Amino acid sequence: MSAQPVSSAGAMPMPPLTPESLRAAVAWLVPTRLDELNEHLVHAATQAQKLDSTVPLRSFTEYWGIVVAMERDPVRAARFHELEAVVDACLEPETVRAVITEIGTLVDEARAEVLA
């Protein structure tokens, strides 16, 4: 599998990295993951309070920012999910390694958007 540049002109703009904006984006892009986001936010807020630290909340916004960055671009999201299906179905270790490498590249691209 070769890593190809994956992007789409139809991508929605990246929302601000706030819980409210990320929740709205997830509700629009991947509504099946909204409960997961809400549970993660409660856990992050609880941990932030217990630890007297903002790190859990920053981790939350980075994680969900990456999810939104990945899903907001239809071409990249489709490729990501295609690769997930390959990993789930494949028994060839070399193929799985190549696919995981490509998934890593897509996640790195999405993370770079979040951290920009």
> Is residue 5 a part of any domain in this protein?
no
The count of domains in the chain is 1
> Is residue 72 a part of any domain in this protein?
yes
> Is residue 13 a part of any domain in this protein?
no
Q: List pLDDT tens digits, range 28-77.
A: 999 999 999 999 999 999 999 999 999 999 999 999 999 999 999 999 99
> Is residue 41 a part of any domain in this protein?
yes
Q: Which of 44, 15, 16 is nearest to 29 (CA)?
A: 15
> Is residue 3 a part of any domain in this protein?
no
Domain range for 25 is 19-115
Question: What is this structure's pTM?
Answer: 0.86
> Is residue 101 a part of any domain in this protein?
yes
> Is residue 23 a part of any domain in this protein?
yes
Asked if 15 and 115 count as a contact pair (C-beta separation under 8 A), the reply is no
